[in-house]
Amino acid sequence: MARPAVIDEPLARWLAAELRPISEDTLRRLIRATGLPMTAVVEGVRQDSLEELERTLGALALEYAARSGPGTMAVRRPVLRAKRHAQFTLKRSPESTLRREVVLWIDTWLYNPPLFPAWVLARRRATATPGSEP
């Protein structure tokens, strides 16, 4: 097989079948470790930082807007997974401001994906400290 230019959903499904049994999380980590470009749905939601969260949720919002009907569920699925993960980590660290913010951002995306990019811009401006960039 030739080196793919990008790892898309069909290739990710093929990899999952070839590596069965493998969890979605393990497969996603392995794919990310290749360093190859990925489509938004394959990459999923990155929660390492608010910048990564914004980038990946923004990319997924664009992908969601480009699809219709049942295709939108394939975009929502990694966000729903990310929400479960974020809620789990918040339970383990309930005092974490970052974890609470991550859950809020993911919930906002799930409520209205096309609105998310504008909302996150407003949220960053509202929470920016005086004298800093939003």
Residue 3 has a pLDDT of 85
Residue 7 has a pLDDT of 95
pLDDT in 10s for each residue of the chain, 134 residues: 688 899 999 999 999 999 999 998 899 999 999 999 999 999 999 999 999 999 999 999 999 999 988 899 999 999 999 999 999 999 999 898 999 999 999 999 999 999 999 999 999 999 886 655 54
Whether 42 and 7 have beta carbons less than 8 Å apart is answered as yes
Sorted by sequence, the CB contacts under 8 Å of residue 103 that are 6+ apart come out as 83, 86, 87, 90
Residue 128 has a pLDDT of 82
Residue 66 has a pLDDT of 95
Residue 1 has a pLDDT of 67
Rounded CA separation 33/108 (Å): 29
Residue 134 has a pLDDT of 45
